[in-house]
Amino acid sequence: MHRTPGFALTVNGSRVELVASREATLLHVLRNDLGLNGPKYGCGLGQCGACTVWVDGVAARSCVIPVHGVAGREITTLEGLGSRARWHPVQQAFEDAQAAQCGYCLNGMVMQAAALLARETNPSEARIRSELSGNLCRCGTHVEITEAVRRAAQSMAGGADS
Ligand code: FES
Ligand code: FES
How confident is the model at residue 161, as a pLDDT?
Answer: 43
Instruction: Name which residue leads in pLDDT, 19 or 160.
Output: 19
Q: Give the DSSP H or E segment for 150.
A: helix 142-157
Number of domains in the chain: 2
Residues 27 and 72 in one domain: yes
Which of the four pLDDT bands, split at 50, 70 and 90, describes residue 3? low
Domain at 107, CATH number? 1.10.150.120
Alpha carbon of 158 to ligand 1 centroid (Å) = 33
User: What mean pLDDT comes out for the span 118-129?
Assistant: 95
Q: What is the mean pLDDT of the chain?
A: 94
Tell me: the pLDDT tens digits for 67-103?
Answer: 999 999 999 999 999 988 999 999 999 999 999 999 9
How wide is the angle at C-alpha 28 spanned by C-alphas 32 and 66, nearest 5°?
145
Domain contains 1: no
Residues 49/104, Cβ–Cβ less than 8 Å: no
What is the Cα–Cα distance from 77 to 55, expressed in whole angstroms? Answer: 9
Q: Is the pLDDT of residue 45 over 50?
A: yes
What is the pTM for the complete model shown? 0.93
Phi-psi region of 50 (alpha: psi -120 to 50; beta: other; left: phi over 0): alpha
Q: Is the pLDDT of residue 5 over 80?
A: no
SS3 3: coil
User: What mean pLDDT comes out for the span 124-146?
Assistant: 96
How confident is the model at residue 158, as a pLDDT?
Answer: 83
Residues 94 and 142 in one domain: yes
* Ligand closest in space to the Cα of 59: 1
Alpha carbon of 82 to those of 25, 43, 70, 106: distances in Å? 24, 25, 23, 14
- Taking the CA of residue 44 as reference, the ligand 1 atom at the shortest distance is 1
User: What mean pLDDT comes out for the span 13-32?
Assistant: 96
Alpha carbon of 54 to ligand 1 centroid (Å) = 14
- Taking the CA of residue 138 as reference, the ligand 2 atom at the shortest distance is 3
From 81, 104, 123, give the residue that closes a domain.
Answer: 81
Q: Which residue's C-alpha comes closest to atom 3 of ligand 2?
A: 137
Alpha carbon 60 to chain centroid, angstroms: 8
* Ligand closest in space to the Cα of 30: 1
Domain contains 142: yes
User: What mean pLDDT comes out for the span 44-66?
Assistant: 98
Q: Is the pLDDT of residue 1 over 90?
A: no
Range of the domain at 135: 89-156
